[in-house]
Every structure is written in structure tokens, then in C-alpha cells.
Amino acid sequence: MSHNHAKNLVSPDQAKQKLVDGNHRFVNENYGAKDLSSNRRMTLLKEGQFPFAAVLTCSDSRVPPEILFDQALGDIFVIRTAGNVLDDVSMGSVEYAVDHLHTPLVVVLGHENCGAVIATVEGGDPPGSIGAITAMIAPSVQKVQSMGIAGKELCEMAADVNVGATLSDLRTSPVIKEKIDKGEVALVGAKYLLSSGEVVFFE
Ligand SMILES: [Zn+2]
């Protein structure tokens, strides 16, 4: 039996189920009651945060994790970058959740119609630092292109491959790997469908 933090008594499986249930509520427009009171804020301030999941997802304004998983203050630790790419800073943020906050589940959440993936497929020379993002997505796009896939299907498959690549990169972290090996943390990929509101977990 793995040791859990006193305030974080959910297992990785239970944490995933909470997200699945929350997304069902969102899809059905049957939202749970959320305590957004000053009492709740003061409790979170005094006792600290114990988020049951960390979610690395895209900055896209249509993909807010707290809303699409129907969660409240203190429930999920969110890291957002365009294209949900993983750099040293976002890696450190996930490690902080896992190591300091004892968060049992890490979700990498891609989504349908991702602008960062589409920009990478379109290529060219993006202005400013946008190229730093597309450069990180490019290997996933090239992988799908090499299978002879193009157009809309290319964008959707590349988004999924990009999530898989990010999961692989997260597993290279000694901090995260140690927790996975002890059974205290699980990593899972998922995709948010803008059309239906559903989050489809990859495993
Ligand atoms: Zn996106």
C-alpha cells in the first residue's frame, strides 16, 4: 500500500474518476455546487492546497480545465502553455505538484482544433518567440506526415502524438519517475473535444 499525504487521500485511479465524473457533469450541464466562499478561501489559505490532479494543457481560451472538469478552488493544479508544450519551467511546475503537493495524477490534455498545432503544420517563420512553441510540436507533426497523412487529420493526429511525446518527456523526470515507480502517481493523456465538450482519456 502506497503512502499518501494526509490531506491527499485519493489514489491516482480515484483522482481520474473525479475528473471523468466532473466532465460528465459539464457535458450534461449539470454542474456541482462549488464553495467559492471566503470561508473556503481562508481554509485553503490556512491549511494549504492539496490538488488531486495536475493538468498540463493548452492556453486556448476554450479549454479551461476547472470548468470542463467542473472543479472548484484548490482542486486542480493547472499548467498552461500554447500547444501544451513542456519546457523546463512547465516541467518544474509539474514536479512541484507531484513532489511538494503530493498530487496523485498528472494529465496532459490536448484538444481538437489546436491553433498551435495548426500553426506548426502551416509552417513558415512565425514572429517573435512563437517559433519556440512550433519547434517543440514539429517532431510530432513530422511523425504523422511521414505516415502520408495530411489536412485536418494530420492536425488532429499530430495533437495526439504531441500529448504522447509530452508524457514521455515527463517520465524522464527523476522526481516524477520515482513517484510513478512507488505507485503514488499516474500520468495520463487526454483530448478535449470542443464540439461535444467531452474529455477522452487515452488509457
Ligand atoms: Zn491549443
pLDDT digits (tens, 9 = 90+) for 138-170: 999 999 999 999 999 999 999 999 999 999 999
Mean pLDDT, residues 16-23 taken together: 98
Name residue, grid cell 502524438: 161
State the pTM of this model. Answer: 0.94
* Res. 11: pLDDT tops 70: yes
Fold of 12-28+36-201: Beta-carbonic Anhydrase; Chain A (3.40.1050)
| 148-156, long-range: CB < 8 A, 24+ apart | 154/121, 155/113, 155/114, 155/117, 155/118, 155/121, 156/112
CA of residue 36 to ligand 1 center, whole Å: 28
CA of residue 167 to ligand 1 center, whole Å: 17
Higher pLDDT pick, 45 / 3: 45
* Res. 118: pLDDT tops 70: yes
CA of residue 125 to ligand 1 center, whole Å: 19
CA of residue 42 to ligand 1 center, whole Å: 34
8-state DSSP, 37: S
Cβ partners under 8 Å of residue 72, min gap 6: 32, 34, 35, 36, 40, 66
Report pLDDT for 9. 79
Mean pLDDT, residues 4-27 taken together: 88
What average pLDDT does the structure give for the chain? Answer: 95
Report pLDDT for 1. 39
Instruction: Give the end-to-end CA distance of the chain in Å, rounded to a whole number.
Output: 23
